[in-house]
A and B are shown apart, each in its own frame.
Chain A
Amino acid sequence: MVAKTHEQWLANPPLASGEWIDSRIYSDQGIFEEELDKIFKHTWIPVCHESELAKPYDFRTTSIAREPIIVTRGPDNVVRAFLNVCPHRGMLIERRPSGSFMEAQPSGNPKRMTCMFHAWQFDMKGNCVYISREKEGFQDRLTKEDVGLRRLRCEVKFGGFVWVNLDDNPVASLEDWAADAFGALRKTLDAEPLEVFHYHKAIVSTNYKLWHDTNCEFYHDFMHYHNRVTGFNDAYFARKNEAFNHGHIQVGTFEVNYDQYEGFESRAGLSFPHLPPNQWYMVDLFPGMNFNLRGSALRCDIVTPIGPNKVMIEFRGLGLKKDTPEERETRINHHNSIWGPFGRNLHEDLIGVTGQGSTTLPGSESRRVLHGRHENQTIHDENGMRHYYEEWSRWMNRMASDPSKPFTAERHVEVAAAE
């Protein structure tokens, strides 16, 4: 077919509804604000890994939907999360990304979270334990009991990740939220303690959903020379793309032939527990988290949307806590070769989504972005993205294919088309 006129270009494609989205959901500021309110403030977000706060009184700060969060490990070894906001006059309580409260602070004691501004202090359970000149200023009108920190739902689960939900009454417990999606990997992730060995972040000009799409669709393996030579075989094309409740998906495994890429080695010697050699699993959780296990190394991506056209992606690499230094070094090399900031694939993925970001700048013309491939729900089927956007539409009460319309369940064509 020839190139299109403007009218033809804007017409809907000859696909069923639900097989494309309207690009305004990547570019519209109003929709973005709504996503923070309706989705990110109510879903389970893995904010870090428990190995990042290994000792009592260690802390880690983060944020969800612009709300600053602090995660602490108490003297009882329990990991808790609070808003990192002082109830006095709204100062950020802790400014560093991580550290230990074992050390005294210029305006506070050891073993306390101290707000530097007026020296209020809080314990690891979020109780206010000190108000400077309390009686003198507040008499008995306001006491420490009145001003504890805002505690947040927080659980350590699925391989030791720290999950936080800003909603006190989430739609599902964390177990019910993600257990099915982690199903095939759960035994592996929970066999023994994991440890983060890699951290870096990217802040790129694109919508967070486009990053998540890239983690959900494998059709783009055409972009990755590495994946073409180590992957494209019958077992690869048979990998299943399975959808789970709450918008999550899992891409089934196969055996990767790493030695087909010159200079790369088999990862068989360092497989994660309970896995055959050189397997490759992928779990994608709504609304934008990814767990990617390639034999010897686990990667986790966490998105923090900053604007309709801006997202921070935090990348972590994990191995087993019990690794010897040699094993750890090998895992790190395996991780970096593809996924590091100087690795072969990550750079390509990030170029891909920034390219999409360039065509979906705020104010740009609304376009169709297709996800209509049906291949028996195998690796290059786009059912994972369709599943995600149906969930998104439900949470937003907007159709992803036309965000001006309220959500109505798509009539599912998956099975029919898959035959």
Chain B
Amino acid sequence: MNTEKTIEALSYLSAPRGGISMAQNGADMAAKVRDTIYRATIMLDDQRWDDWLNLCHDDFHYAIKSFSPEINKDMTYLQGKRKDIANLIRLLPKHNTDHSPLRRHTSVYTVDLADDGRSATAVSSFVVYQNLLDGINSHIDSGESRLFLVGKYYDTFSVEDDGPKFLKREVRIDERRLDKGSHWPI
């Protein structure tokens, strides 16, 4: 797995550059926000859950939501504070889970910095593929990728001295058909 390389490649995006103006500062911070979203994608893909949580603020809140035209309701499919998600992650080995890894393709669309420079919001789109390992019959299905989820990340960051931290992530998925579903954060 080439994760380390990928992270190195990404981190140049946010490397400090000299000759700092206000605009330059903002551009740097926007790049750091983007970088953090992409790092999160890689960590989630690699199931490095603790590393992912380390990108998050102590007050982090996570939610997966979807709107159902069937029942005409905005729905929450999963939500929790950082400690809830940490519990969920710690207990994963106790549960029986589909082994097929999920692969996220994220594109950061917008990054907006607050005027005081202490927070930021970002909107990204994602698709998640399920790379079948178990499948229905792994003899037939393993190795195939199937589209699993389509949606957007609505992220809020707290901008600390050491860079942006996820304060809130709202995962908005288009699906209400979720078949086997998943035990993992998206």
Contacts and interface: CB of A to CB of B under 8 A. Distances in A.
Nearest to A262: B87
Contact of B72 (A52, A201, A333, A342): A52
Contact of B69 (A97, A202, A357, A358): A97
A197 B75 contact: yes
Contact of A342 (B83, B137, B176, B182): B182
A354 interface: yes
A297 to B, nearest CB: 13
B5 to A, nearest CB: 31
Main secondary structure of the interface of B (DSSP, over half): loop
Query: Size range of the interface on B?
Result: 35 or more
A105 interface: no
Given A98-B69, A199-B73, A225-B94, A343 B78 contact: yes
B130 to A, nearest CB: 13
A126 interface: no
Contacts of B72: 52, 98
B96 A200 contact: no
Interface string B60-79: 00001010111111011111
B182 A225 contact: no
Contacts of B13: none
Interface stretch (A171-179, A344-352, A378-386, A392-400): A344-352
A263 B177 contact: no
A341 B80 CA distance: 15
Contacts of B71: 51-52, 98, 196, 199, 316
A292 interface: no
Main secondary structure of the interface of A (DSSP, over half): mixed
A96 B72 CA distance: 12
B43 to A, nearest CB: 18
A46 interface: no
B94 to A, nearest CB: 4
Contact of A225 (B77, B95, B179): B95
A350 B96 CA distance: 11
B91 to A, nearest CB: 7
Given A199-B71, A203-B179, A333 B79 contact: yes
A245 interface: no
A342 B78 contact: yes
B104 to A, nearest CB: 15
Contacts of B184: 342
Nearest to A336: B78
Given A196-B73, A199-B73, A336-B77, A348 B96 contact: yes
Contacts of A196: 71, 73
Interface string B79-98: 11001100110110011111
Contacts of A203: 177, 179
A340 B78 contact: yes
A202 B79 contact: no
A202 B179 contact: yes
A290 interface: no
A340 B64 CA distance: 11
A201 to B, nearest CB: 5
A329 B182 CA distance: 21
B91 A351 contact: no
Nearest to A54: B72
Interface in A295-338: 316, 329, 332-333, 336
Contacts of B88: 263
Contacts of B66: 200
Given A200-B178, A262-B91, A357 B136 contact: yes
Q: Which 9 A-B pairs have the closest CB atoms?
A: A263-B87, A341-B181, A341-B178, A342-B78, A225-B94, A350-B180, A199-B71, A97-B70, A358-B137
28 contacts: A52-B70, A96-B69, A98-B72, A199-B68, A199-B75, A200-B66, A200-B75, A200-B77, A200-B176, A200-B178, A202-B180, A202-B181, A205-B136, A223-B96, A261-B91, A262-B91, A263-B87, A333-B76, A333-B79, A336-B79, A340-B78, A340-B181, A346-B181, A347-B96, A351-B98, A351-B134, A358-B137, A361-B137
Given A60-B70, A225-B94, A347-B95, 20 more contacts: A98-B69, A98-B71, A98-B72, A197-B73, A199-B71, A200-B77, A202-B177, A202-B179, A202-B181, A333-B80, A336-B77, A340-B78, A340-B181, A341-B182, A342-B64, A344-B95, A350-B180, A351-B96, A351-B97, A357-B136
